[in-house]
Amino acid sequence: MPRFSIIVPTHGVAGRLSQALDSVLAQSFGDFELIPVCDAPGSPGADVAAAYAGRDSRVLSPVHSPPAAGLGAARNAGLARAGGEHLLFLDGDDTLAPGALRAIADRLDEVGGPGAVDVLYTEHERVPWWEGRPGNPAAPLLAQAPRGAFTPDEVPRLTGVPLPAWSAVYRRAFVVTYRLAFPDGHFTDLGWMGAVTAAATRLAVLRQVVVRHLVRRQGSRLNTPGPHQLDLLDQVERVLVTAAERGLPAERLRPLFADLFAVVLKTAARPERLPADSRRAFFRRASRLHRGHRPAGFRPPGGSLGVQHRLLAAGAYAAFRALRGTNRTAARAAGRLPLPRGLRTRLLYARELRRPLDENLAVYCAYWGRGYACNPAAIHARARELAPHIRSVFLVEPDRAHTVPDGVDYAVIGSRRYWQVLARAKYLVNNANFAEGVVKRPGSVHVQTQHGTPLKKMGVDQSTYPVVAAATGSFTKLLGRVDRWDYNLSSNRHSTQMWERAFPGSWEALEYGYPRNDVFYTATADDVARIRAELGVPEGKLAVLYAPTHRDHRTGFATGGLDLEAFCEAAGDDVVVLLRAHYFYDRGGGRGGGRVIDVTAHPSSEEVCLAADALVTDYSSIMFDYANLDRPIVVYADDWDVYTETRGVYFDLMAEPPGPVARTPGELARVFADGSYRSAESARLRAAFRERFCEFDDGRAAERVVRRVFLGEPPEAIPPVTPLAERVPAPAAVPLTSLRTSPLTRS
């Protein structure tokens, strides 16, 4: 009896089959039989396997299994032929790592010899088909296992379900005794590993790579769209029923249940994998399985996965559908950030990382490369004046390069220079986050400027809100990016406290104000007039800026049922609207003229604010910035309850608004028609709002950042914040005193 039977299905991999077979025959440990499973006599794989069988007696003549029967049937055909003490599986386009069989044999002897364990879990390496970094996904799963043999009850978290069938070695007598076989259909590894988990009584692990798995360019069929995705629930139900029949205790059922439904939810959250007419049915059946087999004491995991568990258990398909389809625009924006995937780029970046930091180089980025904007642009401009020895490079997406002002050096995201400057720069300034692959070098200084005051929940505080938690992705990765920050800007103490909650880390808070808001105190009447002319605002008209925020529970831009042309007609003859959609919906266009002027594509939100005589917004953070101008603000809260439920907020805006609150288009028009938007009560609300949220913005925020970060001045030498009462905001084009008298303020 050979020590090992190695079963190798060969369907569709004849071109790489010789590499797989060679990797087995080259092993230093030779006590094995190799069993190729081929489509039929004369098939490409069968011819290759037959040639090997003719040269080496350890290669058995091919076993045949029709392709239509699937991978499970092919492996079962190999099992029926196997006569070895232990079983291994190897896909025909994968390879055994050198020394793998010797390591397995030694490990089995170490934990007790023949018959000591039913299953030996092993590590494996995922190798990209062309370029990329190999991964070892099994290593974290096996890291906590005991050194010797153990029972499943000792390590219930090690279910084996996340592992492929070829990442373990099986005692053949154990497989025969329990009549284990690969189930029909797709996701056959999951069904097999689940059955193995339920039956095994003694386990061990080998913390060494045994199989090198080639990730195919076309990807796994299990990830492709089609009706075969429905087989997943068959396999999950089969495993859960088997586990119940075998009487697994709740301590073991809970992690098994969690691992199975992690796979289910991964598919449910990717609707493109399922036929359109099957998505609801898939969800409902998964929901029934979840409720019917949920073990006693099971608690959903944290974060977005836990939210998905709860929605599935509740059968809340509409909410789950909204969750999985939300924030696609944001995901695309974040997805544009490149990792150094290409071999040449990786080598370039690695080489540059070995070179000394450039002490006089600063790299800036705003809104994932959308252009020269926001706090990074304001800091950049001030640094050119106060720290001219610092060379600066702005990072932009290729389609935004034309928007960079003359005289501003830039690098296109993903280019060679992009990775060069990121590797060498001492200073890195961003209002979002740099790409996942960016390394935080010792001695480098990362400045997180943020891009708004938090009303809505941010960072890890999003984890309990299903819509945003799903879009946020891995909170572990998020916190990894936070760990790169050295400084984090704040414009008020509310922000300082919320950032600490949302982005826990070792960064230092700089309560200096937002540099982008400096212009609200430095701009002149001439500046305001110039901007209005550029935007096409008719002279003497009341320019109302309408700037709604993004809705995580919606896709696409919507005005909340507000007809802007009708609003202008109802609000008064002197009213025009400046429409500025959230930057997620900036398509680079824009139109002027008429009473509604689309300024979404204008590069500077600060200039748009300067041009506006009043602001209408819902829950956008632009209200906190605009409040610096001490001009009227009206909150249009048509869906506040829905927004708070789906996104979460840090305070009740309805109880502490910066001005009047309207909930319908009619109410909003009346606020302007009767002048109550600029009433004494409106001014009182705005003053309280400014006292709380315009705390550090005084026109010198960028200077403070440059002096502290680039010039290294001590905190005590930084210019203090000018008290709110002493600040003079930029003048409005249409002063409040020149407008119609409000009925609410008449004597």
Q: What is the DSSP letter of 207?
A: E
Diameter over CA atoms, the chain = 108
What single letter denotes the amino acid at residue 599? V
Strands 508-510 and 391-396, by their bridges, are unpaired
Residue 73 near residue 184, CB atoms below 8 Å: yes
Residue 231 near residue 224, CB atoms below 8 Å: no
pTM of the prediction?
0.56
Residue 358 near residue 426, CB atoms below 8 Å: yes
Report which of 503, 385, 522, 361 is spatially closest to residue 443, judged by C-alpha positions: 361
- SS3 readout for 672-692: HHCCHHHCHHHHHHHHHHHHH
d(CA 300, CA 284): 18
Instruction: Write out residues in the chain with pLDDT < 50, as ranges.
Output: 327-338, 585-593, 740-747
Pair of tokens at residue 308: 């998905």
Q: What is the pLDDT of residues 647-700, one digit of tens each?
A: 899 999 999 999 999 999 999 999 999 999 999 999 999 999 999 999 999 999
d(CA 283, CA 368): 34
Strands 95-96 and 203-214, by their bridges, are antiparallel
- Sign of the Cα torsion 535, 430, 345, 127 reads negative
* Strand segments (E) across 39-167: 63-64, 86-89, 95-96, 119-127
- SS3 readout for 699-721: CCHHHHHHHHHHCCCCHHHCCCC
pLDDT at 674: 94
* Strand segments (E) across 50-103: 63-64, 86-89, 95-96
- Sign of the Cα torsion 246, 250, 254, 255 reads negative
Pair of tokens at residue 368: 């994932």
What single letter denotes the amino acid at residue 616? V
pLDDT at 651: 94
Phi, psi of 597 (to 5 degrees): -115, 115
Q: List the strands of the sheet with 410-412, edge to edge.
A: 410-412, 391-396, 358-365, 425-430, 445-448, 487-489, 508-510
pLDDT at 554: 57
